[in-house]
Amino acid sequence: MEYSAGFTKEKWSENEIEVVLKLMSEGKVKKEILDEVMEQNSFQLRSPVSIKNRFNMVYNRAAVLDDEMKKHFLNASDYDRKALTLYSFLKVYRIPLEFYIEVIVFKYEQQEPLYSNDFHYFFEGKANVSEKVSSWRPETIKRLVSSLVLFFRDSKMIDKVEPTKYQVKPIYMSQSLKTYAERNAPLLYSFTILEKVNEE
């Protein structure tokens, strides 16, 4: 998985993922799902181009969920949906995944708050080891930081306690999903304990 700034266009998309998963559960293939999403305007976007662009991002994230996760997403609690929405984001994009492992988990293990500057320090570190990241403009980095803040706040993994300070905390999920994740999806399970786990 290469470094990509493509997630600046990502939205939380929990409801859109649900739409796609329901159609997947009916046995529809990607093109059939896209056709129905466009026909029904399920994503409530104005232009066909916008719908297609959003659909491709949403579909890619929905597709990383295994069958058991898809069932949980469609039938389970708001907590489980939030955990799985974040999981889909981290499984598709390398930068958010590495930020989670290298910064979020580290901060929790050290019992330290997360500061706004930590996002920028993270990208400075990546720029030192990746030509691609070092070529990104400051405006791009700013948008990437905004996306990271959005996803970790919407998942309830970080809470803003001061203008530049966040509290880091594990995500609650149902016992059934937690048990499944512990056996089959180490990354997802790690959300509940914020400890480094073996890569999937």
pLDDT confidence of residue 19: 96
Return phi, psi of residue 85, to 5°.
Answer: -65, -45
At 198, is the pLDDT very low, low, confident or very high (cuts 50, 70, 90)?
low
Whether the CB-CB separation of 62 and 88 falls below 8 Å is answered with yes
Confidence band, pLDDT 50/70/90 cuts, at residue 82:
very high
pLDDT the model gives residue 199: 56
Quote the pTM value.
Answer: 0.94
Mean pLDDT lowest among 37-46, 83-92, 118-127, 191-200: 191-200
The secondary structure of residue 170, as a DSSP letter, is P
Q: What tokens were used for 115?
A: 């500061």
d(CA 63, CA 5): 20
CA dihedral 100, 141, 130, 107 (to 10 degrees): -30
Helix (H, G, I), strand (E, B) or coil at 169: coil
